Structure 1
Amino acid sequence: MGITFVKDSIEFFTNHRQDFQDDLLKEAINVREKIEEIQFIGNIDLLSNAHKLVMYTLDGNLKQLEIFAKKEGVSWASHSLTLSFKLEWVQAIRRTIWKYLQKLNQSTPIDLTEENFFQLERKINDSVDKFLNEFFLSYSEYKDKLIESQRMLVENLSVPIIPITTKVCVLPLIGTIDTSRSSTIEEKVLNEISRLRIGTLVIDLSGIAEMETEVIEHMMKIIEGSNMMGCKCVITGLRPDIVRKVTKIGLTFENKAETKATLQQALEDYLVS
């Protein structure tokens, strides 16, 4: 086994490429029905990519194998393709490689020693395993980045600062505010005050069902921070249960923010006047 074997095996697999693909499709029962769908969804040619994996494996080109695996991981992750299909496909490739190595040995006896056989076994299986490892790492990293970017997008959308005039903006908050979201609100508010040079920020809380004590305290700090940047805060839509919590913990909006019963009232005051 050596350079001659590598050359012979690559030539053998190249000459029998169509037969290899036919046998591969017989091995990968579930995947073969999805080949056209996967190519349509992600522009991924499974048969062509299988040939690349075989060539990199036989040639021992681990660098290209790693690059190829990472590219494949991103492609599958970006199109949300099923990992179970990929695993079945690669394992089918592994089995078919061994089937054709056996055919090569039968047609051109290599007369491998026991030591050489196990070297070949390690080379083939280690290469396929390396491909799988790099593929799954790349897939996972891309998915994590995608989830993080989507999370940031959702957070930004959950803090919609709407310009009403050149100096007046409205921040309508809905849903539940936890400590994580209140931190996002603080960051977005202070950044937008600086960027838009907001003079008055109307924070409407009529859509907030509940607010824990820690969040109320954090909202007070957001108001204080806004004031320090020269922005006046107007609070609208305070629910009775939130008011009770504010007074219970001894906090007050006095000298920190103006309060209005409704967002409509605040807009009428600032737009009409």
Structure 2
Amino acid sequence: MPMKNGQSIKVFIQENRERFEESLLSEAINVRDKIEEIRLRGNINLVDNAHQLVGYVVEEQTNLLTAFARQEGELWAKYSLTVDFKLEWVQAIRRTLWWFIQEYFEVHNIGMKEQDFFETERTINDQVDTFLSSFFIRYSQYKDELIESQKQLVEHLSVPVIPITESICVLPLIGAIDSERIMIIEEKILTEIRRLRISRLILDLSGVARMEDEAVDRVFRVMDGVNMMGCSTVITGLRPEIIQKMMESGHSFEQKAETKGTLQQALRDYVYEDQK
């Protein structure tokens, strides 16, 4: 950026900070009434951040600009702030910055050739566009990370291995069991058997509404894994449609698991026995 008498555009804007902010707020019509709300919600000072952005842009500090954009994108995603406001705010910064660049040239009587002007325009706008691009990329990435984290939490909570005694746990399953969920169930069961050192797992299927064919096959693999870890499996609450599906697939519980009609029956039989 051009400099006159040692004064850069950045310094010129800093020395006219109040006017710059007034111009910026007059441009960002929808955002200006949300500034305090955004500050309280996400600890984000939009006005201070505008000056930081302008400094990186006019000094062409692309690396710092990109890092700042990613930081902003993460904060806006984390606190679920409206991206429309961010876009309007940055575009208002762009317009205000150009007015002050024009004023800077006029105040310092700096003439520019047409080629130099277009080069300056390209540089400034490319820097602002880099900020926006980096901001939205990080915003989307962080949102995806949050969604995945929440999904994993839900999946974890949907496989509740409940200790009943020191050696017995119950796993009540509810809803539909598909190939993806049965893999999560398998991992959770084997992990908890090792962690809790249990010798009997009661798998209650009374709340299972539907089970995919592939999931049926996987259930028997899970029981094989449980047995290999020295833990016996007890199946309770088998619904007729689930039994029929298992029979059609050619599977049998013989030598793999015991079966009981209800969870209450299994608890009565095994917990009482365990506590003798």
TM range (shorter): over 0.9
Give SS of 1:34's match.
helix
Counting aligned pairs with the same residue, the percent is 54
The answer to whether structure 1 residue 162 and structure 2 residue 162 are counterparts is yes
Once the two structures are TM-superposed, the CA of residue 61 in structure 1 deviates from its matched residue by: 1.4
**Other-structure match for 2:269:** 269
Task: From the superposition, tell whether residues 43 and 107 of structure 1 become closer, same or farther in structure 2 (CA, over 3 Å).
Answer: same
Once the two structures are TM-superposed, the CA of residue 85 in structure 1 deviates from its matched residue by: 1.0
Once the two structures are TM-superposed, the CA of residue 4 in structure 1 deviates from its matched residue by: 4.2
**Other-structure match for 1:46:** 46
**Other-structure match for 1:201:** 201
**Other-structure match for 1:100:** 100
State whether residues 6 and 59 of structure 1, in contact with CA within 8 Å, keep that contact through their aligned partners in structure 2. Answer: no
Give the distance between the partners of 2:118 and 2:198, measured in 1 at CA. Answer: 72
Deviation string, structure 1 residues 213-262 (Cα, Å, up to 9, x no partner): 11111111111111111110101111111111111222111110111111
The answer to whether structure 1 residue 255 and structure 2 residue 255 are counterparts is yes
Q: Which runs of 5+ in 1 are unaligned?
A: none
Give the distance between the partners of 1:165 and 1:86, measured in 2 at CA. Answer: 54
The answer to whether structure 1 residue 177 and structure 2 residue 177 are counterparts is yes
**Other-structure match for 2:141:** 141
**Other-structure match for 2:57:** 57
Give the distance between the partners of 1:129 and 1:150, measured in 2 at CA. Answer: 32
State whether residues 6 and 58 of structure 1, in contact with CA within 8 Å, keep that contact through their aligned partners in structure 2. Answer: no
Matches within 5 A, 1:27-46: 27-46=27-46
Give the distance between the partners of 2:58 and 2:245, measured in 1 at CA. Answer: 70
Deviation string, structure 1 residues 75-132 (Cα, Å, up to 9, x no partner): 1111111111111111111111111112222222210111110111011101101111
What letter is aligned with 1:141? Q
Deviation string, structure 1 residues 162-205 (Cα, Å, up to 9, x no partner): 11111100001111111110110011111111111120000111
Give SS of 1:110's match.
coil
**Other-structure match for 1:81:** 81
Give the distance between the partners of 2:220 and 2:153, measured in 1 at CA. Answer: 25
Once the two structures are TM-superposed, the CA of residue 7 in structure 1 deviates from its matched residue by: 3.7
Is the deviation greater in 130-139 or in 259-268? Answer: 130-139
Give the distance between the partners of 1:135 and 1:105, measured in 2 at CA. Answer: 30
What letter is aligned with 2:226? S
Task: From the superposition, tell whether residues 210 and 106 of structure 1 become closer, same or farther in structure 2 (CA, over 3 Å).
Answer: same
Give SS of 2:169's match.
strand
State whether residues 9 and 58 of structure 1, in contact with CA within 8 Å, keep that contact through their aligned partners in structure 2. Answer: yes
What letter is aligned with 2:67? I
State whether residues 3 and 9 of structure 2, in contact with CA within 8 Å, keep that contact through their aligned partners in structure 1. Answer: no
- Give the TM-score of the pair, scaled to structure 2: 0.95
State whether residues 200 and 234 of structure 2, in contact with CA within 8 Å, keep that contact through their aligned partners in structure 1. Answer: yes
Task: From the superposition, tell whether residues 169 and 5 of structure 1 become closer, same or farther in structure 2 (CA, over 3 Å).
Answer: farther
Give SS of 2:230's match.
coil
State whether residues 66 and 131 of structure 2, in contact with CA within 8 Å, keep that contact through their aligned partners in structure 1. Answer: yes
Is the deviation greater in 38-47 or in 100-109? Answer: 100-109
Q: Which runs of 5+ in 2 are unaligned?
A: none
The answer to whether structure 1 residue 217 and structure 2 residue 204 are counterparts is no
Structure 1 outlier segments of 4+, above 6 Å: none
Once the two structures are TM-superposed, the CA of residue 73 in structure 1 deviates from its matched residue by: 1.2
What letter is aligned with 2:54? V
State whether residues 74 and 142 of structure 2, in contact with CA within 8 Å, keep that contact through their aligned partners in structure 1. Answer: yes
